[in-house]
Amino acid sequence: DAKTTQPNSMESNEEEPVHLPCNHSTISGTDYIHWYRQLPSQGPEYVIHGLTSNVNNRMASLAIAEDRKSSTLILHRATLRDAAVYYCILRDRSDKIIFGKGTRLHILP
């Protein structure tokens, strides 16, 4: 399975942008980059995904490096509700979705 590396935890102030990094140096040409998050006591929820180009949706933006060996999830204006564990996942030929340890994001009021 393709692997990702994320910081264990990060902090950010409320109402400021948050940049969550992810390294995936072994990514192959057909792997999709997915982000999920898990709020306390809930199941994970999908955030965003991309292949090569940067992506935007109502929740976040995904910036993908030109060589695709890293990506950054951007929350434009963090709220307390965004405190969660954020998972960066590579979806490869195996089809199953494998979660790593993720980044625990703390939002400071």
Partner 1 sequence: GAGVSQSPSNKVTEKGKDVELRCDPISGHTALYWYRQSLGQGLEFLIYFQGNSAPDKSGLPSDRFSAERTGGSVSTLTIQRTQQEDSAVYLCASSLTGRLNTEAFFGQGTRLTVV
Q: What is the dihedral of CA 90, 1, 26, 5, to 10 degrees?
A: 60
From 11-19, 59-67, 76-84, 92-100, span contacting partner 1 (CB under 8 A): 92-100
DSSP reduced 3-state for 82: helix
Nearest-angstrom CA–CA distance, 107 and 3: 27
Contact code string over 16-55 relative to partner 1, x by CB under 8 A: --------------xxx-x-x-----xxxxx--x-x----
Binding site for partner 1 (CB under 8 A): 30-32, 34, 36, 42-46, 49, 51, 87, 91-92, 94-102
